[in-house]
Structure 1
Amino acid sequence: MLCDDSSTVRSALGRLLESDPGIHVVARVGDGAQALAALDHASPSERAEVVLLDLEMPVMDGMTALPLILKREPRPVVIVASALTQRGAGATMAALRAGASDYIPKPGAAGGGLADPHFRGELLAKVKGWARLRQQPAPARPPAAVARPAQRGAVPKAVCIGSSTGGPQALAALVRRLPRQIAVPMVIVQHMPAGFTAMLAQHLDTLGGPRVAEARDGDVLEAGRIFLAPGDRHLLAKPEGDRVALHLSDAPPENFCRPAVDPTLRSLVGAYGRAVLAVILTGMGHDGLAGCRAVAEAGGLAWAQDEASSVVWGMPGAIARAGLASEQGTPEALGDALAGLCGRRP
């Protein structure tokens, strides 16, 4: 279902989505009240599995409609659409906290608008990926840890988590499983626009795990802290005396991304050698593959999210197919494994 107050946007998005033969748009509505009515009156064969929900609409906006949509049975997946602004970023994080599964930033005209091929690829991947996950039965019990700590080698001195499509929810699931005072410094690289990363860091910081902040140039890596790469900047680690500091770079995108996982992993290997653990979560493409090769060549470890729990098994799948992933599991299981391996700071 498409829910947007602009008929032009509904028409364009409908054509874009139905260009994929695996997607059928069952309804196009202009506000939240119409979305609820369409869900209530749809036949079983025409009931929406995924709702693409604009947040700013008249009559009933997306934030008002969201909890009501999520009460409908069978419960649809909701992906919110928001503007590439600070206000849009804040609204997106509020929607994710309220139960939305993912977000899609509305592209600006300067980047090609809805015709932007990157936007098309991201939207189709999220709609199809979340629809697939929705159809999977819920696990009968919480996921077990991936392996016993003794099987995973030496405790790393730094951990890097990379993610893209479906990443915000996967990151939240993993961070919730970590102790507040985890004994190693951590960095996260999530493919996300500028402005959105600050809001994501604030969201992750509220989950009870380690303290999370958007990285600033000159921040020092330290145990018990997680630094998130800011949108549109690469995050690099550099030894400075007896400490390792973070620096932001506006070097060209890698794997069509900035921030990208690969340059962060390369810099961590330069700073810590073999004592690096890379964790690659759900995402399109293969960002992180070259970086994980560098980690493995230095003697470090790479873990990957499993296919069944990934919205898109592109990034983690590339690690797994290359034989670099010593462990695979759900974000929860990987979080438990990290907690068991790294422990708490004294």
Structure 2
Amino acid sequence: MLIGLVLGDRKCREALHNVLRAFDYDCITVGHESVIQELAACDNIDAWVFDAGHDELFDILAKSDKYLLPADNLPVPGVDPHFDTWCEGLLRQLDSALKKPAYEQAGASWSDVSSVWILGASTGGGPALRTFLAGIGNGHNAAFIIGQHTRLGDHFHLSDLQNANPALNVSFARGVKQLRPNDVLIAPPHAQLEFGLAGRVTLSNAAYSGGYTPNINQMIYKWLDADLPGKGVIIFSGMDDDGAQGCVKAAESGIPVFAQLPESSICDSMPSAVIDNGSAVFVGTPLNLASSFLDRANRGR
């Protein structure tokens, strides 16, 4: 999806461009009126985010028949603490407006998915996730949902994870996605995931509650209620104890819970909470976790 960004303030323009790019939207920044007129006349741009109160600009963009989002009351990034909240609302509107009208090749490969695992992480989780994903190779027919605490201003690039294992298909959750083998779906912080029939994952309009975004406990609870094969949870490096209570529920349901070895974690609070409450059946380094996952996948749980 390509977003046209027309904002006069350079700081706001650059910050919003970074947020959109971080959440897998292609983004083009335009300023000259002749260029705006040219782009508005073609079908390349899927939506426009533009300065509110600029009547002439609105008249030009309205001719494009594309989704228009006036950037009214945009907080100043780095100064106004409400910038992240404003961006969350923008992303919810874009996700809702631009989601694909039909399911992606419904039923094409879902039947081949052998398991769906939740990968939870926070501070220090990025390197651990990359090492784990690099270590699992392909051929396991699993799909993964990543819940990693992040803020909208953070740079969480898909390429970091995709480059770790080119056999995987890494993407942000948007609209409706049907899981396939080797899919890695990243939960954005601004909206909850809903799990439907035949491996369909939908980005809802509901925000997470509590102090974590995304909230790993809430993700696990919804995932536990879904009809999905071969479930499992792995908790990597992170602060506090998000995910610990969800792991207890998972363990009570007979679902395997793995945790990163605290000594190998940049921040050991999250994996330690899972180990301390007794829900973890395996503890190891990210490479150990990859090996144990493959052992379980190869023997079909």
* Structure 2 equivalent of residue 296 of structure 1: 251
8 Å contact from structure 1 (residues 182, 210) kept in 2: no
State, as a whole percentage, how many aligned pairs show the same letter: 26
Q: Establish whether residue 110 from structure 1 lines up as the match of residue 41 from structure 2.
A: no
* Helix, strand or coil at the partner of 2:278: coil
* Helix, strand or coil at the partner of 1:188: strand
Q: Establish whether residue 203 from structure 1 lines up as the match of residue 134 from structure 2.
A: no
Distance, in Å, in 1 between the alignment partners of 2:224 and 2:141 is 19
* Structure 1 equivalent of residue 215 of structure 2: 260
* Structure 1 equivalent of residue 232 of structure 2: 277
Q: Shift of the alpha carbon at 1:211?
A: 1.7
Q: Establish whether residue 231 from structure 1 lines up as the match of residue 186 from structure 2.
A: no
Which of 178, 194, 207 matches 1:220?
A: 178
Equivalences for residues 36-47 of structure 1 within 5 A: none
Unaligned runs of 5+ in 2: 1-13, 23-76, 84-112
Equivalences for residues 64-103 of structure 1 within 5 A: 85-87=16-18
Distance, in Å, in 1 between the alignment partners of 2:254 and 2:273 is 19
8 Å contact from structure 1 (residues 160, 277) kept in 2: yes
Distance, in Å, in 2 between the alignment partners of 1:344 and 1:327 is 16
Distance, in Å, in 1 between the alignment partners of 2:82 and 2:249 is 35
8 Å contact from structure 1 (residues 185, 223) kept in 2: yes
CA distances 1:96-142 after superposition (whole Å, capped 9, x unpaired): xxxxxxxxxxx8332289xxxxxxxxxxxxxxxxxxxxxxxxxxxxx
Distance, in Å, in 1 between the alignment partners of 2:264 and 2:15 is 28
8 Å contact from structure 2 (residues 19, 152) kept in 1: no
Q: Establish whether residue 163 from structure 1 lines up as the match of residue 121 from structure 2.
A: yes
Q: TM-score, normalised by structure 1?
A: 0.52
In structure 2, the CA distance between the partners of 1:88 and 1:316, relative to structure 1 (3 Å rule), is same
CA distances 1:207-253 after superposition (whole Å, capped 9, x unpaired): 22422111122101222211111232222322x2xx02112234343
Distance, in Å, in 2 between the alignment partners of 1:237 and 1:206 is 27
Unaligned runs of 5+ in 1: 1-82, 92-106, 114-154
CA distances 1:15-43 after superposition (whole Å, capped 9, x unpaired): xxxxxxxxxxxxxxxxxxxxxxxxxxxxx
* Structure 2 equivalent of residue 325 of structure 1: 280
Q: Shift of the alpha carbon at 1:302?
A: 0.7
* Helix, strand or coil at the partner of 2:222: helix
8 Å contact from structure 1 (residues 163, 281) kept in 2: yes
Distance, in Å, in 1 between the alignment partners of 2:142 and 2:160 is 21
Q: Shift of the alpha carbon at 1:296?
A: 1.3
Aligned residues: 203
8 Å contact from structure 1 (residues 306, 328) kept in 2: yes
Distance, in Å, in 1 between the alignment partners of 2:185 and 2:299 is 18
* Helix, strand or coil at the partner of 1:176: helix
* Structure 2 equivalent of residue 306 of structure 1: 261
8 Å contact from structure 1 (residues 302, 326) kept in 2: yes
Q: Shift of the alpha carbon at 1:201?
A: 2.2
Q: Establish whether residue 191 from structure 1 lines up as the match of residue 149 from structure 2.
A: yes
* Helix, strand or coil at the partner of 1:247: strand
Q: TM-score, normalised by structure 2?
A: 0.60
8 Å contact from structure 2 (residues 115, 228) kept in 1: no
Q: CA RMSD in A?
A: 3.0
Distance, in Å, in 1 between the alignment partners of 2:190 and 2:169 is 22
8 Å contact from structure 1 (residues 163, 191) kept in 2: yes
Distance, in Å, in 1 between the alignment partners of 2:258 and 2:136 is 16
* Structure 1 equivalent of residue 105 of structure 2: none
* Helix, strand or coil at the partner of 1:108: coil
8 Å contact from structure 1 (residues 180, 211) kept in 2: no
Distance, in Å, in 1 between the alignment partners of 2:21 and 2:82 is 24
Distance, in Å, in 2 between the alignment partners of 1:156 and 1:286 is 29
Distance, in Å, in 1 between the alignment partners of 2:141 and 2:214 is 25
Distance, in Å, in 2 between the alignment partners of 1:171 and 1:337 is 15
* Helix, strand or coil at the partner of 1:265: helix
Q: Shift of the alpha carbon at 1:305?
A: 0.6
* Structure 2 equivalent of residue 116 of structure 1: none
8 Å contact from structure 2 (residues 135, 290) kept in 1: yes
Q: Shift of the alpha carbon at 1:189?
A: 0.6
